[in-house]
Structures are given as C-alpha cells and as structure tokens.
Amino acid sequence: MIYLDNAATSFPKPEPVLRGMDAFVRSSAANPGRSGHRRAVEAEAMINETRLLLGRLLGFQRPERIVFTLNATDALNMAIKGVLRPGDHAITSVLEHNSISRPLNQLERDGAITLTRLPADSEHRIDPGDVIKAFKPSTRLVALTHVSNVTGTIQDIGTIGPAVRERGAFFLVDASQSAGAVPINIERDCVDLLAFTGHKALLGPTGTGGLAVGERVEVSPWREGGTGGDSSSPVQPSEFPHRLEGGTPNVFGLSGLREGVRLLLERSVDSVLTHERSLIAEFYRALPDPGRFRWYGADRVIAELQGDGRVGLVGINLPGFAPAELAAILDERFDVAVRAGLHCAPYAHKHLGTFPEGFVRFSVGILNTVEEMREAASALTEITD
Ligand SMILES: Cc1ncc(COP(=O)(O)O)c(C=O)c1O
C-alpha cells in the first residue's frame, strides 16, 4: 500500500514509537499520580517528560501548562468554551476545520458571541491587516489555523500574534497540521493557546492531543474530576496541568507520543518539512502532463518554489471524475490511500470553489519515499490514459 493520507493521521507509526509504546505499556503503565507506588511514579514521570519534550519542540517555556486532551478537537473546544464569555467578539477565518468553526458557530447561533470570519487571499493566506481591521472593543479571541488541512498553506502567525497581543485579545492557534510538520515557537510568536493533535505529524497514536496554555490566559475547566494529588479540594485545583486535566489520562497513547516527539527533536522539524516538500515536488514532476489536473493554485508554488510556504499536502481534481470516484479507483486498483471530499473544512472548499464535492487530497509523511510518489503519479497517469 502507498499511504498518502497523513493529514488525516500518520501511518504507519515509526518503529521507535511502536517499540517505545510496547516497552512502556508492558512495564509501567499504572495510573499516574494516583498511587504512590513505583509504577505510578514512572507513569507520571513519562507524562511529564512528554510535556518537557513538547515544550522544546513548540518553543514553550512553561511545559507544565501543556494539558493533554483526547485530540485537537477536544483542545480547541476547551480553549474556545473556556475563554469566551457572553458578549465577546471572536475573529476566525474561512480556512478553519470544523473543530474551530462549529463551536464558534454554535456560540454565535446561541447569541453568546459575535463572530467575524475573515476571507483568504488568492494564495490562501489570511492577511494580518484584515485581522487588525476586524478588531472591535469586545474582541477577546482570534482563532486561526496555522496550516490549513485543505490548502496546505502556512499562515503568518509570527505577524498576527504580536498584533493580537498588542490589542489585548488572546491568540488561539490550531496546530493540528503544523505541530511536527512546521517549526513552531509559541513564545516568539505571542501565541496564547496552541492546540495540537498527537496522531498526525507528531507521530503518536490516536487519542492523544493537547493545549498549551500561555500565562496570560485563564481557561475555565470544562471537565472537572480526579487529579491524583490534593483530593481534599472541593473544586478543581488551580495549578497546572491538573486544572484542565480531570480524569485518568491516556497513558498508553502518551507513551507513544513521547517517542514521536523525541524522534522529531532528533531529526529536526526543518528536515522533515524539506523531505515532505520534496516528495510533493517529485509527485508533480513525475506526472507527464500535470496540466490535466486542477491544482487549486498549488502547482506554481510546487513547480517554481519547491513548495515554499506550504506543507506536504496537495489537493487535485481530474475533470470527468468525481473526487470520491478518483479516490476509490486509486484505492481499489492501485492500493493508494488518499482522502476525497470536504476534509471537515467546508468554508475552505467554498473559498477554493470546490464545494460541495471537494477534491482528492494527497498528504505525505515522514516515512513516505520518492519511489512511492512516482508510483502514485504513475497510477494517476494510467487512470488518465
Ligand atoms: C486543521 C485541523 N484542525 C483540527 C483537526 C482535528 O483534529 P482531531 O480530529 O485530531 O481532533 C484536524 C484534523 O484533521 C485538522 O486538520
């Protein structure tokens, strides 16, 4: 199989992740912090080490304020519902995944907040000037994706973050497609809340994710419960990470996430990004007639700039084929796994003009090879011939 659906989840997981998980789960997977015995202490130490490694990877100086969640959706809901208050205004964009759009839309529909949804330009970027212009006195949150899972473009969070901070609002970044795929520096870019998922470019298993909570922002807990220590407190303790981590964490999953992050720190995210861009460029080069496909603005960037400003994903359509049909042929006849449709981001497809059918997304990962890209290109060529 040629797996080109890494934007949905990375697969297969690298061997060190599988081995590290296996070893940990066999030896130490007790309930962290709940009991005083050695296995419980080891489990808690593993989770805290995962926080430390993530802090290094994400340029975040307060790793104890990285709280683990089920996935990015959980982290984004925690941030949005834990920060916004009745009467607040929030700014978002057309490039967002439903895990940002839906909670914000629901709050707007309930009359709790007002919302501005910014357009993207022809290069699929959010103009920092538009963010500034959208500010109102009641703006409390700017919630934007770092990398769209549809367009693959990297947003200029380094310009937007300081502008948001200067205006006294909070900046929430959805790093689902960028954590592990694009260098991130939370402190430098003035990000207040960064949501990530553990199972994509961070190379961990599903069921892992988290929210890095900057010091300026107060997030009300939406899940209260057991935290191990300080059981006498009648309400959720105020210290991090316990404040936002009620309930037994996903010890199995986090032991895999730790290995994924360790591997990325050893290899460097920059080198992974270079590798993934070169795979997409190879895919483009290996097609004898790329002009037969629609590329949604990505072809020039790939051909001329080797994918600069983008991550390793690209959406295409082949005139005469519905996206779902093309994806099914690739799967059934050529054993190439891709994702067709709207990718949980309907506004992004409206922006591209591909709503409601969407397109076929090819997304690469750390373990994909040049040979696989050539084979995927030759499968497409055979379909068009
Ligand atoms: C940009 C973006 N945000 C959020 C998510 C949600 O991630 P999860 O399903 O892990 O919660 C995804 C997943 O595809 C995504 O691509």
Give the 3-state secondary structure of the chain: CEECECCCCCCCCCHHHHHHHHHHHHHCCCCCCCCCCHHHHHHHHHHHHHHHHHHHHHCCCCHHHEEEECCHHHHHHHHHHHHCCCCCEEEEECCCCHHHHHHHHHHHHCCCCEEEEECCCCCCCCCHHHHHHCCCCCEEEEEEECECCCCCEECCHHHHHHHHHHCCCEEEEECCCCCCCCCCCCCCCCCCEEEEECCCCCCCCCCCEEEEECCCCCCCCCCCCCCCCCCCCCCCCCCCCHHHCCCCCCHHHHHHHHHHHHHHHHHCHHHHHHHHHHHHHHHHHCCCCHHHCECCCHHHHHHHHCCCCECCEEEEECCCCCHHHHHHHHHHHHCEECEEECCCCHHHHHHHCCCCCCEEEEECCCCCCHHHHHHHHHHHHHHHC
Single-letter amino acid, residue 330: L
Per-residue pLDDT for 237 more than 80? yes
Looking at residue 305, its pLDDT comes to 86
Any idea how long the chain is?
385
Q: Whose CA is nearest to atom 12 of ligand 1?
A: 176
- Min mean pLDDT across 31-45, 183-197, 269-283, 360-374 is at 31-45
The neighbour count for residue 192, using CB atoms within 10 Å, is 24
Higher-confidence residue: 376 or 36? 376
Single-letter amino acid, residue 191: V
Q: How far is the CA of 99 from the centre of ligand 1 (A)?
A: 7
Percent of the chain with pLDDT over 70: 100
Per-residue pLDDT for 30 more than 90? no
Tokens representing 184? 């991130």
Give tens-digit pLDDT for 346-365.
999 999 999 999 999 999 99
Looking at residue 11, its pLDDT comes to 98
Looking at residue 227, its pLDDT comes to 86
Q: What is the CA radius of gyration of the chain?
A: 21
* Residue 8 CA, closest ligand 1 atom number: 14
Q: How far is the CA of 352 from the centre of ligand 1 (A)?
A: 19
363 Cβ inside 6 Å of ligand 1: no
Looking at residue 229, its pLDDT comes to 72
Per-residue pLDDT for 84 more than 80? yes
174 Cβ inside 6 Å of ligand 1: yes
pTM: 0.97
Best residue among 73, 146, 257, 363 to mutate for probing ligand 1's pocket (most ligand atoms within 8 Å of CB) is 73
pLDDT band, very low/low/confident/very high, at 231 (cuts 50, 70, 90): confident
Looking at residue 300, its pLDDT comes to 86
Give tens-digit pLDDT for 291-346.
999 999 888 898 888 899 999 999 999 999 999 999 999 999 999 999 999 999 99
CB 147 within 8 A of CB 269: no
Helix (H) / strand (E) element for 225: namely none
Per-residue pLDDT for 33 more than 80? no
Q: How far is the CA of 308 from the centre of ligand 1 (A)?
A: 22
pLDDT band, very low/low/confident/very high, at 202 (cuts 50, 70, 90): very high
Q: Strands, DSSP E only, in 10-162?
A: 66-69, 89-93, 114-118, 139-145
Q: How far is the CA of 283 from the centre of ligand 1 (A)?
A: 25
How far apart are the C-alpha atoms of 378 and 2, rounded to whole Å? 12
Looking at residue 259, its pLDDT comes to 98
73 Cβ inside 6 Å of ligand 1: yes
Per-residue pLDDT for 110 more than 90? yes
Q: Whose CA is nearest to atom 16 of ligand 1?
A: 149
Mean pLDDT of the chain: 96
How far apart are the C-alpha atoms of 73 and 80, rounded to whole Å? 10
Per-residue pLDDT for 128 more than 90? yes
pLDDT band, very low/low/confident/very high, at 115 (cuts 50, 70, 90): very high
